[in-house]
Amino acid sequence: MTFREKRQHVSAQREVHITNKLGLHARPAAQFVKRARSFRSEIWLVKEGKRYSAASLIDTLRANLDCGASAILEAHGVDAEEALEDLEKLLAEFRKNEND
């Protein structure tokens, strides 16, 4: 058994805020989903009590994350904390990049 296989599954969550003007529309949503799929953990967006898979573009768009919206990012798996940290940074980059 390798070190990775011995790592325990953990659950993590954090609140995120959408700050870019157009929200999580098609292009950034596609980047978000691609990044979410790169992790081994299962990742969800939770908004107003509804859960949306962060690995699904349709679900991510259905979450309707416009500018000013907030949601909870949840992850369960061996890299849950790392996944949430990375995805939160990506959301912040969307705001930063729209000013370039």
Enzyme catalytic residues: 25
Rounded to an integer, what distance in angstroms lies between the CA atom of residue 75 and that of residue 37? 12
Rounded to an integer, what distance in angstroms lies between the CA atom of residue 20 and that of residue 32? 13
Q: Checking DSSP bridges between strand 70-77 and strand 42-47, what pairing results, if any?
A: antiparallel
Q: What angle do CA 10, 83, 68 make, to 5 degrees?
A: 115
Rounded to an integer, what distance in angstroms lies between the CA atom of residue 1 and that of residue 11? 22
